[in-house]
Amino acid sequence: MEIMPGIEIMGLALYADSALIISDAHIGYEESLNKQGVFVPRLQFDEMLKRMNKIFSILKDRRIEKIIINGDLKHEFGTISEQEWRNTLKFLDLLAKHCNEIILIKGNHDTILGPIAKKREVKVVESYFLEKSKILIIHGDKIPNKETLNKVFTIIIGHEHPAISLREGPRVEQVKCFLKGKFKGKNLIVQPSFNPILPGTDLLKNEILSLFLRQNLDNFEVFVVEDKVYRFGKMKGLRFSRDV
């Protein structure tokens, strides 16, 4: 599904200008939970690989020039865990088979990303600009300067891990979603986390993290990702439905 002309939703990723964009993989999250005494089976990394391979299968007849990871490739702030070393390198090796270049955008969790990037000779940047379509890809924890904003038509961020809660009878399920709205007159797209067990920020009740989203979100459009992409309309409609 096109979320905007020339920008397509591919599972939990975006495809634009021959670039595939994913965000917030948080590799190593399960190990972090285990250290806190929360024991979850370590199946999530295999699930991420399956999701990536499915996307590559869908795009098999289309060119992928670049794969851009929009921040928080790994989870731990102050160290690189054993799981992060092993799985992050394995993940980068899979991506490298399907593109000409991998670009890592630094997220707020990526305080020690350099050794991993150096191991695979991958470039780490603060943001990335797709010149042809004037798309700025930036993690979302910092606002770019005015000079940068003046050059762009569309901004793609991660960081927020957007999600909404759906109720069916007594059952409530939180699902990942993309958001589309505006920031300072520019188109703004917010990507969900690529990690299957990160629940995300429930936009209908949780506090907003990203500075880009500290505004009235009523007119932001919601695109839920499940077995396929569902256009859910605007946030104000979801708030009304929830309150009725």
pLDDT along the chain (244 residues), means of 10: 96 97 88 66 83 96 96 78 86 97 84 82 94 96 93 96 82 89 97 88 84 94 93 83 46
pLDDT of residue 240: 47
pLDDT of residue 174: 86
Going by C-alpha positions, the residue among 71, 79, 56 that lies closest to residue 25 is 71
pLDDT of residue 74: 84
pLDDT of residue 81: 75
pLDDT of residue 80: 76
Separation between Cα atoms, residue 222 and residue 181, nearest integer Å: 9
Terminal-to-terminal C-alpha distance of the chain: 30
Tokens for 165? 């809660």
Distances in whole angstroms, Cα of residue 192 to Cα of each of 9, 27, 40, 135, 200: 11, 15, 21, 18, 7
Going by C-alpha positions, the residue among 237, 168, 160 that lies closest to residue 199 is 160
pLDDT of residue 54: 96
CB 163 within 8 A of CB 177: yes
Asked: is 2-243 a CATH 3.30.70 domain? The reply is no
CB 157 within 8 A of CB 129: no
Separation between Cα atoms, residue 204 and residue 225, nearest integer Å: 17
Q: pLDDT tens digits for 5-53?
A: 999 999 999 999 999 999 999 888 776 666 667 666 666 889 999 999 9
